[in-house]
Structure 1
Amino acid sequence: MNKKPYVLRLIIALVVVAIFSFSIYPLTQRDFYDTFQNLLKDPNSAEAAELIAEAKLMQAADATIYPSNALLEAANAKGIQLKNLVKGKDLQNNRDVISLIRKESSSSIRLGLDLNGGVEFMLELVPNQEFLSKFEGADSEQLQKRMQSEFNKFRDQAIETLRKRLEGQNIYEAEITPAGDSFIALRVPIVAKDEMLKLMDIIKMSARLRFHLVHPQNDELRSAYRSDPEHFQVPPEYILMESIEADKDGNPYKEVYFLKRRWEMDGRNIVEASASKDMYGQLSISLGFDSTGTKRFSEVTSENIGRQLAIVLDDKLYCAPMIRVAITDGQARITGDFSQEEAKNIADALVSGSMPFQINVDAVFITDPTLGKDNVANGIWAGILALVCTMLFVGVYYLRAGLVAVFALAVNMILVLGMMAAFSATLTLPGIAGIILTMGMAVDANVLIFERIREELNAGKNLGTAIDLGYQKAFSAVLDANLTTLFTALILMWVGTGPVKGFAITLTIGIVTSMFTALFLTRLVFDIIGRYFSFKTMKMCAFLSHPNFNFIGKRKIAFCISGVLIAGTLILAVVKNTSMFGVDFTGGTLITFNYQERVPQDDIVKALKSIGYDARVAYKESASVADNRSLEIMIRENEKIQQDLATSSPKEKIAECLNRTFPAAQFDGGQESSVGGLIGEEFSKSALIAIAMSFLVIIIYISFRYEFGYAIAGIVALIHDVIVATGIFLLVGREITLPVIAALLTIIGYSLNDTIVIFDRIREDRKLVTGKSFAEIVNQSINETLSRTILTSLTTLLVLIVLFFFGGIAINDFVLVMLLGVIIGTYSSIFISSSLVIGWHRPGRAEKSAEVKTGAREIAG
């Protein structure tokens, strides 16, 4: 037993658990005005009470105004500085205070569109000719033709720019799709409804940065303008702009500048931007240019020393500093009247790039969860039931040690949720995929350790020594399995975008917490038990005492089965072609209806499926027009739709079906339009690059830790698992969607984890076992880890089976892929990857001698 002092380790564990347990609070959103009152320096402030009353009157007069906007308008109208009323650091103005209240009133964990709904912006794209003009050799007519011929390409660029801006706000799960000829539909999960005011500013920002020289006689022109503004003539080639500045007491005032109409340079060469404060506490945005931008900025500043250089962003003048020396390091700074939140938003927008379009917000809708409230409730209860079943299974099978594992799993769940809250992660269905995988890996680590302890006890070791050796021998397998999955997650987080990045963040958090609980926390518990209880042994159930199956002898049969499945999948993919992809990839037809009575989304999906339509259904309501509610149905184009078009439109057929099935709902009105897929060219490219890079890193790591042949065998097994699982999934008539992609990514992590454990045992047995061929050693290693392999698969399958039958129709595809992946991953770890290692292996002298003796025994036999 570990005799090292445990007090320090106990303190560390308690502090970590306490910090992240506290981070989970509050789980639900709090009232905005109550939060404002809780932040007041004087809870009985009459001034604050008057502001709240005024803000509520504004909301009563206009239902579209949110509390944050109403409170800000009330404070500004009365000239009240909110920073003097509330407790808080570094608050510059009223907008900073509103941001603080919004943050404090928000729930701890942001739920995604699928679980909690959010806000939808219908964005009109108006071509930005200034942006297009940067392409050389293109006149106005050519630009117009190019805009028409390559509109989709530029729109995809705008979509990725929007995605990067939202990622700057830690929002990775936005849904952005082309809608109609010149629109984008942007759906974003939000913590509070009034958060969409901030998002709207971020979305509309074109991030067009310009550097203009100020007129040399600006002071004289300013005086002339102020003395007679009506008759003042702006000098030719110059424009008049105003900026908001502050006097020495901090009071804002307007200042007038005359800027050269043609700018000296723009912001296309910006590579970094960040909000910061100078030594006097003034907010600014620091800019960094690439080599081209650095050279041009150096030329502009060196040629115009003594003149003012105005910085204009999206047609708003922020500042006009004096050029005192040439700036050759490629650094610039924007100062002005903005809050901390605005400064960060501007910096994020500048880094993400300027838009090829001007964006007009055409409409705003509040959307319900895409999974439906019933599905969310079903999923939560199914998840709780699955977790309880897993804990009961582990507790019963491993008895006293199982109780330690159950405690570790409970703490692990708290840590995962706490870290998600602390790092502003969003919980979505792909995120749940990551949690399922990490829970499985946490169970797997405990199972691996306990099976090692069992082996040492069976070898005659006392309990303390068995625990020490169990952790010591299991450490390398647990570390390698978690690190390879962590590498994959980090690369997906670095290169991936959208839901792929959201999945990777959740998976990364889960891996860190599962390693902490499995290797640190459970060991601490065993050490405490060993100090205060005199247990002599640790009983465990066992259904495979000494397995001795000839798995390697069946490898030819396994290869034939896998070959047939892979070939069948490829043939099926060719036959189905694009029909195997869902609306997330292909886009489709968006149909909306008005309604009188809400019908559960699951019931609508089932009704539409009965007439041949696979649909995604969601409810939404206008954020600005009262009682403007609608049902939104997304269907993809298929042969059934093409046949229906000969007699009627899909909208008419769907309306007839729904009103016949649900007469009280009275579906009518609405519209029908085509929309693009969620998966654009840039998104697909980044996802493929991320997966390719993760495979490369896995090959390098496994080659370093084991051998190159092991790495190739592991990667081939991963590809095998994904292809076969996808083929069976398509064979039963399902479609590939974003949740399915998340499940396939989960399969990669799960299967690799299983394979690494067997590889680790092979490496160990090669050093310990003599007189056997390499194939016999591999077969022995598979048998020695078989109990752990089956137990881990069973606990994960237990979770998935519960989710499959009780989780609801909306997550059924996701769970089915996971079920297939666990079964196929277990099969490939035993039969495929291990057999491939034998094929790649080059035996040494001792192994060659053992193989000759083995062959002689077989001949004699």
Structure 2
Amino acid sequence: MQREGSWRLGLIAAITIVSIVILTPTFRYFLYISGDRPTDEAQLQAWLEKTDALQRKSIPLGLDIRGGVDVVLEINMDKAMAEEVETQRRNVLRQFSSEHINAALELGDPVDGIPPLNIAVENEADYRRGANILDKYYGDLFRNFNASEFEKTGKASLLLSLQQVQMRQKDKIDGATKAIRERVNGMGLAQALVSQQGNDRIRVQIPGHSDPDEVIRTVIRPAFLTFHLVHEDNDRLVQDLFENRGIVPEGKLRADLLEGKTLPPGFIALPGSAPGGYNPMTGETPPDVMYIVMEKPEVTGEYLDNAFVQYNPTDIENPIVVSVEFDREGARIFREVTRDYSRKGNQPGRQLAIAMDNKVFSAPELREEIPDGRAVISGKFTNEEARELALVLKAGALPVEMKVTRRSQVEATLGADSIAASLRALVMGGAVVAVFMIVYYGTAGAIAVVALILNIMILMAIMRLSHATLTLSGIGGILLTIGMAVDANVLIYERIREELRAGKPIKAALSAGFNRAFSVILDSNLTTLLTAMVLLQFGEGSVRGFALAMSFGLIANLYTGLTVTYALCQAWFQWRNKLSLGVLDFLTNPKIDFIKLRFVALAISGTLIVASMAEFIANRGLNYAVDFTGGMMVDVEMTRDISNQEIDQTLAAAGLPGSSTQKLADVEGYQALIRTPLFGDDTQLTQEKIETAFNDKFSSGTIRVRGAQAFTAEIGQEFAQVARIVIICASLAILAYLWFRFELTFGVAAVIALIHDLFLTVGVITILKIDISLDVVSALMILLGYSVNDTIVVFDRMRENARESRGKNLRDLCNESMNRSLTRTLITALTTLFVMGCMALFGGHSLRPFATTLIFGLIFGTYSSSMLAMPIVYEWTIRKRGGQLALAESATTAGPRRRSGGEKTEQRKKIYDN
């Protein structure tokens, strides 16, 4: 046994040392940034460089902690698929033309977002040849092509095959992700993260960056560069077709100018810039003029090798230009074009229009052959605009059109405030729990604190190794892990105390206590882990951060609770020949008749449910945050106290009615959260309107935007749908697990208790006017796991008592199980409430809704595990089985064979035997 104990202690020491080594850069980083920030510019630069170097080696921090920009982009997949079908239409038309087959090809009305390709061959004699071409080259591309039918009718309405759709969609998002990643990397931003979300979204997170508009401009600009030959009689055609060089009169659309007019075959009209230059990055353009250009470009950005900013001080009009260089193939094509169409003697050269995204920058005359494959784009750029343009050109064109569906911006100072508040809550919560454990359990409590510290270290080390990002919600997950880690130790210590009260010596009591606590610790942690796994499917940043921290914490809990605590207790006992489990002992032998109180509990629950429903009706439903409704939430700082009404009226006058302002009472100075609907479902335009409204109404600097989050209505509805699915899936997973581990009656009772807890918790937060946000949904999800934890402890004791007391009256069996679990239930609830209370008081306004939700959820969960779940099992058993509980036999006879309690104990004695 000493050899086994030494092996365990050696493993614990090794894991501790490895965790410290992994986390040392993170500790150094937090210590370094907690010091004074230099004011001298040279020292500040050195300080920033060292901070960045330490940050690269430490746990990645989320944007809500570090500050930065978070943008979610959505691919217009319907348009992308329509463009794909259009490409195939041109391919088929080209092949038909080469075979002299006359046919009409057009795109039909979309089916499931994808338009069909309608084909009609004109001459019956060509039907067979057309069918052969389609069957040979396009048979696998379209899902519903029938060659024999086409031979008869010469007509078909073809839909892309599902395999082709999936492949094309994957190609589009992969290509867009690659292009965006190259653009972001080209901006020289440290620790920028570009990731795919689902099949049609890309998320761009840039810590430390402060300008979301620059990110959006740089990231989502299509940047498709083309060079077109301009029609030789361009000026006359433009004058005839468009009048006044194509300048669009006020109140007209450009398409109106072409109504009833025909362009020359093979040519298209592109808008360009009037004298004075077109600014492609800001979109500020002078009146448009038109160019008649060849539809097929001579060369495209596909052959682009480099793009860079160049200065020409001799050009007063356009001193800053963007030079582009083609690769070998592009240079060859460009040389041939400039050779064939450049000036020949007295004959002027053709104009070559340089266009990006179908807008002409310039259309210079080709005066001579350009052999080196270089061209210049001018447009009265500023230095920054030219740099951004060169960047997007060099990164390559986006293969699809994208729009912003969500954007958030957090200032570094707001992030610093958030992490300071969160760390304060973490330290305070941990300290309160540590003091309680030591006071209540003595030396064993101190050992539990050591195990708790190692638990957090292992959790953080796993996060570092897995490159998981630490967010504010992740800190909330760590805080909750502290409370749940204590639960395992309380279960163990209460079991040991029971063995001591039964007269066993301390050595035997240690082994028996750990053996008896093993199954309940395993069950309770695994059910909570199931909830965390379901949460991980959510994919949203704050929810995912919380679920990751909680998952890693639960894994660490199982190790520290079942291995570290036992090994340290055994080592202490062998060293000192004693182990104090404290002198305080609440509720040593309670005799509460819970079954008798079941109808009182039912009346209390019914009253609370009715009150919650009344509040729902009076409130006309739940208070959803912008995460679900769509809209923008802006964190502002004010130099003076401005009333909520004045702020809301200012935004209403700017075209943003329905805004609401909430003052923050627990911060220095004047701060507020403003929630407002989106203007035209455009996140960027909404923020611009907010800032413009503040600047117009108040003096400059009176109100400053510190952070902003925006969600389109579409993504909000999607979050709401996913949240409902997550709750249902988590409930079903818990039901299935409890059915497997206990029996169906227990699973149903647990799920009813869960629904009860969720309903009452949502009712209370509705009364308190707490908005249902993603963080609140996370709290409700973990409430599922916590509530089941409590219920499992009671059920496990019920199973154990049923095995040891066969033939005992069911009522007494239920009451005894609940009474024996009562001390653990109350202590665990108390310690977890300590942690959540610290989070609510000291964690700042970002974590307060999460903590408040959990506080009430914990209260209802503790109440329902004893007053609701077990009485349901009792009533079910009395009414359906005549009072005969099948659980005692379920371990050996019901369903697939399971090991009996004695066999399980023997197995566990291999772990905890003395």
TM-score normalized with structure 2 length:
0.57
- The answer for the alignment partner of 2:803 in structure 1 is 767
User: How many angstroms apart in 1 are the aligned matches of 2:717 and 2:74?
Assistant: 20
Q: Is the 8 A contact 2:492 2:514 kept in 1?
A: yes
Q: 1:256 aligns with which of 329, 334, 338?
A: 329
1:83-137 deviation digits (Å, cap 9, x = unpaired): xxxxxxxxxxxxxxxxxx9887515122223332222459798898443345799
1:489 — aligned with what? 532
Give the counterpart letter for 1:776 in structure 2. D
1:357 corresponds to which of 398, 401, 419: 401
When residues 102 and 542 of structure 1 are mapped into structure 2, their CA distance, relative to the original with a 3 A threshold, is: closer
Amino acid at match of 2:69: V
Instruction: Report the secondary structure of 1:501's partner residue.
Output: helix
Give the superposition deviation at 1:580: 1.2
Quote the offset at 1:654 in angstroms. 7.5
> Are positions 1:115 and 2:65 aligned together?
yes
1:388-467 residue pairs with structure 2 within 5 A? 388-467=431-510
Alignment pair present for 1:614 and 2:661: yes
Partner residue, 1:106: 56
Equivalent residues of 1:590, 1:672 under 8 A apart: yes
- Is residue 845 of structure 2 the alignment partner of residue 809 of structure 1? yes
Q: 1:633 to 1:396 in 2, by over 3 A?
A: closer
Shift of 1:361: 13
Output the CA distance in 1 between the equivalents of 2:177 and 2:816. Answer: 53
1:465–1:674: structure 2 CA closer, same or farther, 3 Å change rule? closer
Change (3 A) 1:390 1:411: same
Q: Which residue of 2 aligns with 1:836?
A: 872
- C-alpha offsets along residues 456-498 of structure 1, whole Å, 9 cap, x if unaligned? 0000000000000000000000000001111221232246444
Cα distance in 2 for residues equivalent to 1:689 and 1:547: 41
8 Å Cα contact 2:63-2:70 kept in structure 1 = no
Measure, in 1, the Cα distance between the counterparts of 2:863 and 2:11: 40
The one-letter code of the counterpart of 1:21 is I
Residue 802 to residue 234, structure 1, CA distance change in 2 (3 Å): closer
Instruction: Pick which of 694-703 and 607-616 moved more.
Output: 607-616
Q: Counterparts of 1:168-567 in structure 2 under 5 Å?
A: 188=205, 190=207, 204=220, 242=303, 254-256=327-329, 357-358=401-402, 367-368=410-411, 373-494=416-537, 496-535=539-578, 538-567=581-610
Distance 1:669 1:504 in 2: 30
Residues 135 and 834 of structure 1: CA distance in aligned 2, closer, same or farther (over 3 Å)? farther
Q: How does 1:20-59 map to 2 (within 5 A)?
A: 20-27=19-26
Cα distance, 1:520 vs structure 2: 0.7
Report the 3-state secondary structure (helix = DSSP H, G, I; strand = E; otherwise coil) of the residue aligned with 1:541.
coil
Q: Which residue number in structure 1 is paired with residue 675 of structure 2?
A: 635
1:507-543: per-residue Cα shift (whole Å, max 9, x none)?
A: 1100011111111101111121232221176444102
* Match in the other structure for 2:376: none
Contact 1:744 1:818 in 2 (8 A): yes
Other-structure match for 1:756: 792
Q: Which residue of 2 aligns with 1:310?
A: none
Q: Kindly indicate whether the alpha-carbon contact (under 8 Å) linking 2:829 and 2:862 is maintained by their aligned counterparts in 1.
A: yes
Q: Secondary structure at the match of 1:776?
A: helix
Distance 1:776 1:497, change over 3 A: same
In structure 2, how many angstroms separate the alpha carbons of the residues matched to 1:846 and 1:576? 44
Give the aligned residue type for 2:827: L
TM-score norm. by structure 1 comes to 0.60
Residue 6 of structure 2 corresponds to which residue in structure 1? 7
**Aligned AA (2:16):** V
| Cα 1:487/1:103, change in 2 over 3 Å | farther
Given the superposition, is the C-alpha separation of residues 633 and 234 from structure 1 closer, same or farther in structure 2, using an over 3 Å criterion?
closer
Pairs aligned (count): 616
SS of residue matched to 1:635: strand
1:110 is paired with a residue whose SS is: coil
In 1, the alpha carbon distance for the partners of 2:210 and 2:705 equals: 29
Aligned equivalent of 2:18: 19
C-alpha distance 605-736 of structure 1, shift in aligned 2 (>3 A) = farther
Distance 1:432 1:669 in 2: 25
SS at match of 1:755: helix
Tell me the CA shift for residue 676 of structure 1. Answer: 2.7
State the SS of the aligned residue for 1:453.
helix
Query: In 2, distance between residues paired with 1:717 and 1:174?
Result: 38
Q: Structure 1: 5+ residue runs without aligned partners?
A: 32-55, 61-65, 69-100, 148-156, 177-183, 209-232, 246-251, 260-313, 315-348, 618-630, 639-648, 850-861
Q: 1:780, CA displacement in angstroms?
A: 0.9
Q: Please say if residues 435 and 510 of structure 1, whose CA atoms lie closer than 8 Å, have aligned partners that are also in contact.
A: yes
CA distance in 2, matches of 1:401, 1:610: 60
C-alpha deviation, 1:450, in angstroms: 0.1
* Distance in 1 (alpha carbons) for counterparts of 2:211 and 2:643: 31
Provide the rounded CA distance (Å) in 1 between the counterparts of 2:399 and 2:296: 31
Q: CA RMSD in A?
A: 5.6
SS in 1 for 2:69: strand
Judge which range, 833-842 or 519-528, deviates more.
833-842
The structure with the largest alpha-carbon Rg is 2
2:877–2:883 Cα contact (<8 Å) kept:
no
- Find 1:702's aligned residue among 728, 731, 738: 738
CA 1:607–1:451 in 2, change beyond 3 Å: closer, same or farther?
farther
Match of 1:573 among 616, 624, 629: 616
**Equivalent-residue separation in structure 1 for 2:861 and 2:12 (angstroms):** 34
Q: Secondary structure at the match of 1:831?
A: helix
Q: Which has the higher contact order (CA 8 A, sep 6+)?
A: 1
Q: For the Cα contact (< 8 Å) 1:580–1:730, is it kept in 2? A: yes
The structure-2 alpha-carbon separation of the partners of 1:590 and 1:817, relative to structure 1 and needing over 3 Å to count, comes to closer
Equivalent in the alignment of 1:855: none
The alpha-carbon deviation at position 731 of structure 1 amounts to 1.0
Match of 1:747 in 2: 783
1:551–1:830: 8 Å Cα contact kept in structure 2?
Answer: yes
CA distance in 2, matches of 1:669, 1:8: 57
Contact 2:59/2:469 (CA < 8 Å) preserved in 1? yes
- Quick one: distance in 2 between partners of 1:469 and 1:109? 40
SS in structure 1 of the partner of residue 660 of structure 2: coil
- Cα offsets for 1:394-450 (capped at 9, x unmatched): 111001111111111111111122222221222223223322222111100000000
- Provide the residue aligned with 2:238 in structure 1: none
Cross-structure match for 1:689? 725
Contact 2:60 2:467 in 1 (8 A): yes
Post-superposition CA distance 1:670-716 (Å, at most 9, x none): 99999635953443344433332232222222111111111111111
Is 1:725 aligned to 2:761, yes or no? Answer: yes
| Structure 2 partner of 1:676 | 712
Stretch of structure 1 that moved more, 672-681 or 784-793: 672-681
